[in-house]
Structure 1
């Protein structure tokens, strides 16, 4: 499995590991190995993080709390206290250790430290009112992303998965309409 990192924030990318929430939800983190793979593909953590069932459960709890908090922000609603508690509890824990070496920055730590870093990423993005946060414009997609485009005009979470499909569908609809007019 290969994960997509298009949200512009690690916590929002974690929230995106449950796809199509309103239609037919697809779980991308079904096993501890899936989460270990997500950590590896994120490129922010030590390679080979070992994940157990308890850590997977914690990651899924964090993911859902982040998604609900981001959705509340988008809707202009208050944050739920239980979701704040989940994020704040994990964010308060020790994160990955960072060291400078001749080859650059190295990070070390376990899966719990990695989750703490993801929780801190959630705190950073959810507390920043200056960043434009949006939900993907593809009707079936529920990914939340940061819009850093000029004029904040980005419509889709990413072109590969959603943008191209929406544009192709619009093209086919225009072609059908043109044929129907003839």
Structure 2
């Protein structure tokens, strides 16, 4: 079960996991938010199941349908709108709050301890998305909401939970956006010194 940051790969099964929190990682399934053309990684109901599995959830046998896809997309956009309100220090949009709260009220996956002693969730895809919605409520409506950030990388819109001690993390990933920034800054310094 993956709720927060882990040492797993940042990209799994074509999805990015740089947010440090499942709710923020869900928002990354729409790429190119700051660009003229976006790409939705949730185009079919089966993509929702793939994302849940890539996120580390054990998804019970589910017949994916368009309702599941719609739920995942509504949840993703509600979380994104609310998180951006946190980032900007603005009032959270009422429609996004209503959507998130409506999904969080649905029956959620139940936690249990597996035979190996590890925690996991039991539920179908809809119940797992509801769990993600509840986690989003706790994150975005809790005391650490001010630790939600948007990557400062050029053209990157990935949201992440800043767990740095100083609270000044700037990039979704040091191996991606952070490294590009450092390389660009190095080149600028080198050009100025010549």
CA shift, 1:79, in A, is 1.6
CA shift, 1:48, in A, is 5.6
Q: Which runs of 5+ in 1 are unaligned?
A: none
TM-score (norm 1): 0.88
- The equivalent residue for 2:168 is 153
The question of 1:109 aligning with 2:129 is answered no
Aligned pair in 2 of structure 1 residues 93, 161: CA closer, same or farther (>3 Å)?
same
The SS at the match of 1:152 is coil
- The equivalent residue for 2:158 is 143
Identify the range of structure 1 (66-75 vs 38-47) with the bigger mean alpha-carbon deviation. Answer: 38-47
CA RMSD of aligned residues (A): 1.9
Q: How many aligned residue pairs are there?
A: 179
TM-score (norm 2): 0.83
- The equivalent residue for 2:30 is 18
12, 21, 35: which one pairs with 1:9?
A: 21
**Retained in 1: the 8 A contact 2:113–2:120?**
yes
- Distance in 2 (CA, whole Å) between partners of 1:56 and 1:67 is 17
- Distance in 2 (CA, whole Å) between partners of 1:47 and 1:162 is 35
- Distance in 2 (CA, whole Å) between partners of 1:177 and 1:25 is 36
- The equivalent residue for 1:162 is 177
Alignment of 1:35-74 (within 5 A): 35-46=48-59, 49-74=62-87
163, 173, 182: which one pairs with 2:188?
A: 173
- Distance in 2 (CA, whole Å) between partners of 1:12 and 1:87 is 13
The SS at the match of 2:16 is coil
CA shift, 1:58, in A, is 1.0
The SS at the match of 1:98 is strand
**Retained in 1: the 8 A contact 2:75–2:99?**
yes
- The equivalent residue for 1:84 is 97
Structure index of larger Rg: 1
